[in-house]
Structure formats: C-alpha cells, structure tokens
Structure 1
Amino acid sequence: MCDETDLEAFAKTDSEKTGLTRRGFAATGAVASLAACTSMPGGGMGGALTESMVMIPTSDGTMDAFFVHPAKPAPAVILWPDIAGLREVKMQMARRLAGEGYAVLVANPYYRDVKAPQFADFAAFQAQNGFEKVGPWRAKATEPAAVNRDATALVAWLDKQAAVNTRRGIGNQGYCMGGPYTVYTAAAVPGRVKAAGSFHGGGLVSDKPTSPHLMLQAGTQYLIAIAQNDDAKQPAAKDELRKAAASVGAKAEIEVYSADHGWCVPDSPAYDQVQAERAWSRLLATYKAAL
C-alpha cells in the first residue's frame, strides 16, 4: 500500500542524501529513455502517434485526461495513475504503450478538485507534502462508487472515438492507489473491460464488503504485480487474491516481485528498471492475450 510509511522508507534511501543518488540517476535516465523512444512524431514501434488533453463528461463533473493513440484504430487502455497523479512520466508511459498499438487514456483521478498536473513529478510530490495536499482529493477519488462512475464514463467516451477499435476489448492498468481502480473498472463495465493490470496496488484485500478481491470477474484477465515490501506487510493478500480468482474462474497472474512499492514508475524513488521491464513485458503479454 502507498502510504506515509513507504515514503519514509524512500526518504531514508534517497532524499536524506545530497546530490543525485544512483537510484535517482537511474530514474532520470529511464524517463529520458522513455521520452526518446516516444517523441513526436515517430512514436516508437507503432509509428506516428497523435496526442492531446481531452475533457470527458462524468456524472460528477468533467475529467481532464491525456489521450494518445496510433494512426490506425486500436484497442483502448485506461491508465490510472499513482498517488502523485497525471504528470509527464505517466504521459511518457502512455506514449510507450501507444507505440505498441494501443489507444491510451490517462485519467486525472483528482479532477473533482483540480486539473492535472498536480505535481511535476514524484520528487515534487514529496517536497510539497503530497500526502497532506492530496488527502481531500483522494478521499473523493478512491471511493469505489466514484471509481465505478468514472470508469463507466471513460469507457463510454472511448467507445465514441474513431481512434478506438471497438471490436476489441478494453484494458486498464493502475499503479499504487490506481491498482484497485483496475479491478473496480473491470467490475463496473464487465462487457467491455477484458484486462486489468495492478502494479504495486494498495488495498487490494481488506475486510470491507467493497474489497477489490471480492470484485474479480470471470471474463477479465488479471495481472497483479505485488511489491516485496507490500507482501511483507500483508503476506496473506496474495493467497486471498488467488482464492478469489479461482472461486469465480478468473484468469489471474499474481506474483510478488523482488522490488519495493513504486518500482514500476520511472520518477519513483523505488524505481527498479530491471523489474519494471519485466512487469512491462507481462503487461504486454496480458493485453495481447485478452484484448
């Protein structure tokens, strides 16, 4: 789970040191590499990409989001950000995925209160007392019913776009607090959302009746990548997730990675390029099989 304890651990590793740390250098290089392989025009392996900020009507207001897609109609993917919100690194991740042949929509989960970007990067989140700042926004954004309403609106918007191949299923992926969103999204629109990838997602298993593990769907293919320090805090969660998937006959790849919470996001202090690339390859394989 992404909480204050995680950030304290990050701080002991990196932020209390002076200058650019080795991990910070690696993360900076990773962001630069993402930018290089997805710069406009070109768009990596998928050819030229088209991108824009878009406004999407929801039952709670209007969400600003980032949309990037290849020239030909492609299966759609919703990307749910981590706690630091929609920012440049999430756009770069979306461009990379679009280069693989997907129409990618990055949501602003905090749109009820403020437009994106709320923070330039994760370092800014830390420097600006991010947890305190996003607290009121997050309280509205993480409510399962609110996520369901947003997910339904995003799917409806995507299905009206010429860039989306509506004959193919929709995927969705989330990081940190966005992990549970992927499960709720699949449950909210089960006929359209065919894949859900949670990376170091928080709160996937709880004793609440709205716990994500109770929302798994037989028609969705799941990729649940768990951080090793999250597993240490809640070692039974992976087994509960496997039981829940088996009980409904859902396809689910559930694995604990040898990396800490936040390892998939290049501007995170916990970024681990080797394990992030492995998770990325599993995401592509999941989408290839399900969409």
Structure 2
Amino acid sequence: MRGTMVDVRTEDGVADAYLVRPERTDPLPAVLFYMDAYGLRPRLYEMADRIADRGYTVLAPNLFYRGGRAPHVDLGGLADPEQRGRIFAALMPLIRALDTAAITRDTGAYLDFLAAQDGVAAGPVAVVGYCMGATNALRAIEAHPERIVALASFHGGRLATEEPDSPHLGVGRITGEVYFAHADQDPSMPREQIDRLEAALDAADVRFRSEVYAGAEHGFTMSDTAAYSAEAEARHWEKLFELLDNTLPTPSQSESSSPGK
C-alpha cells in the first residue's frame, strides 16, 4: 500500500489530503473519501487504506483546509463523550463555513486532481462520506452527477431539513446509485428526516437503499470515538463494498465477470 500526504490546489487555496493506492502499476478506479467533523487523523487513514486494499485509488481531502492544515484541534479526547462534545463545538465554525457552493467548487478540484494522476482509471468515481462528510458527499454527487457514479453515506446528519438549501432538495440531479446508513439514535437525522429523504429519492426515481442501523449512535464507524459500534462498523464495510463492487468494479473484478472467466 502506498499512502502519502499531497496538496490539492482549489479555487480557494490548497487542500492537504491523504492519497493511497495499492502497490500496482495499472490504472485503478478512484474513490473520494469525505471526512467526518473531526478531520484527517490515523483512523481515517486506516479506513482509506482498507478501501484502497480492494483495488482503488483513494483521496481523503481536508475539507477544512480554509482554516489551515489538519489537525485543527487536539483530538486526544475523542473517546470520552464529554470531551468529544467540546471538540465538536470547537470545530463548529469550520463546519458551518463549508456551504454548498464551497463543497461544489472543492469537489471539482478533487475530481480534477484524481483525473490527472497516472494511477487513476479514466471515468467516473465514487464518493463515501461520514458524519458531515456524508452531507457534503450528497452535495457533491448532486453537483457533479456526470463524474460521480455512486455515493455511500454513513451517519450523515441534516440531510433532509426544512431549510431552503437542504441537501435532499437536489437529489433529482443524481444519475448514479446511492446508499444511506442512518443511526437510529441520531438526533441530527431523526425519523422524519429519513422519511423525507426517502420520499425525495423515490419521487426522483433515484437508485437507492436507505437503512437504519439499530442501536447505533451518530458516528458509529469511528473506532477512536465514544460513539463506536463494532457491529455497525462491520455492517458498514459490507454495504460499502457491495455498492463499490456493483457500481465501480476494479480491474480484477471486471476480468472475473467477463465471458469465459
């Protein structure tokens, strides 16, 4: 596995990012990895590596680059619920600054960066997002439907609010396939928002699956936080790889499914 920090130039500056791919020379499909609110850190590098190990080039950008390079705060207390709350509050200004226009511009830059890499196959990519990264991943596939073929959203919040810029209002632009995993104990994505999101996806005839993970909290995939659930994390990997296999197969998968194989 080859993982390294890179700089991605955007319209608004330079984003530090983690880029990883297997030790192979053939061009591989790409996955954009959108971080949770706590930002780039060892846990996210570990998760990006696991996706890359399946045969993908993965780019995990620091979505908060306008506020400086990662990390932005001391993340040592994430495993403690009280400290986790304080850390989240400290990051809130950066979260709020990342509006739809900013993530749309940034996503275009990340896609251009991936397309320019020698080890990336031509064609569309997939995007996976966690927490606020899931919200912004939904915005990304809505803004760039011709370049993003699939979205996997895990414990995303505020996906279908009553605000005029709610992410669910743009799902009619999606042409790919999407998967949403919700935590059943997530005040940022209550049942009424899940229903509203699913209704919008149905009305737009989007190919989607939307599931609620019983007993899971917001942030259930993150093993370095107090919200972690090993059972929910395992299910999330199963569903993520199922989506990637169906929508963005790796070269080895494509060969094995060819006639005569």
Q: Shorter-chain-normalised TM-score: which range? A: 0.7 to 0.9
Secondary structure of the 1:112 match is helix
Runs of 4+ in 1 over 6 A off after TM superposition: none
- TM-score relative to the length of structure 1: 0.78
Answer whether contact 1:76 1:170 (CA < 8 A) is retained: yes
Residue equivalent to 1:65: 17
1:279 to 213, 229, 236: 236
**Structure number having the greater helix percentage:** 1
- Where structure 2 has 5 or more consecutive residues not aligned to the other structure, the ranges are 249-261
Aligned partner of 1:123: which letter?
A: G
Aligned equivalent of 1:32: none
1:229-256 per-residue CA deviation (whole Å, 9 max, x = no partner) reads 1279621122211211112211111011
- Alignment TM-score, normalising by the size of structure 2: 0.87
CA distance in 1, matches of 2:84, 2:163: 33
Hey, what's the Cα distance between the residues in 1 that align with 2:189 and 2:119?
42
| 1:287 aligned partner, one-letter code | L
Residue aligning to 1:144? 100
Corresponding letter in the other structure for 2:43:
V
Partner letter of residue 231 of structure 2?
V
Aligned partner of 2:168 among 199, 213, 234: 213
User: What CA distance in whole angstroms lies between the structure 2 residues aligned with 1:93 and 1:198?
Assistant: 14
Residue 104 of structure 1 aligns to which amino acid in structure 2?
V
Residues 90 and 56 from structure 1, CA distance in 2 versus in 1: closer, same or farther, beyond 3 angstroms? same
Structure 1, unaligned runs of 5 or more: 1-48
- Contact 2:158–2:193 (CA<8 Å) still a contact in 1? no
Aligned partner of residue 222 in structure 1, secondary structure: strand
Q: Structure 2 vs 1, CA of residues 243 and 127 (structure 1 numbering), >3 Å: closer, same or farther?
A: closer
C-alpha distance in 2, partners of 1:174/1:104? 12
Do 1:218 and 1:249's aligned partners in 2 also have CA atoms closer than 8 Å? no
In structure 1, the residue matched to 2:256 is none
* Pairwise CA RMSD: 1.9
- Check the 8 A contact 1:86/1:118 in 2, yes or no: no
Counterpart-to-counterpart distance in 2, 1:82 and 1:190: 22
Picking from 138, 144, 147, the partner of 1:183 is: 138
**Which residue of the other structure, out of 231, 244, 249, is the alignment partner of 2:205?**
249
User: Counterpart of 1:113?
Assistant: 67
SS in 2 for 1:283: helix
- Contact 2:131-2:156 within 8 A present in 1 as well: yes
2:203 is paired with a residue of what secondary structure?
A: helix
One-letter code aligned to 1:139: R
Contact persistence 1:121–1:267 (CA under 8 A): no
Aligned to 2:182: 226
Residues matched between the structures, number: 241
Q: Which amino acid aligns with 1:182?
A: A
Q: Displacement of 1:129 after TM fit?
A: 3.1
Match of 2:28 in 1: 74
Task: Name the SS of the counterpart of 1:129 in structure 2.
Answer: helix
**Which AA in structure 1 matches 2:63?**
P
Determine the C-alpha separation between the residues in 2 that align with 1:231 and 1:237. Answer: 10
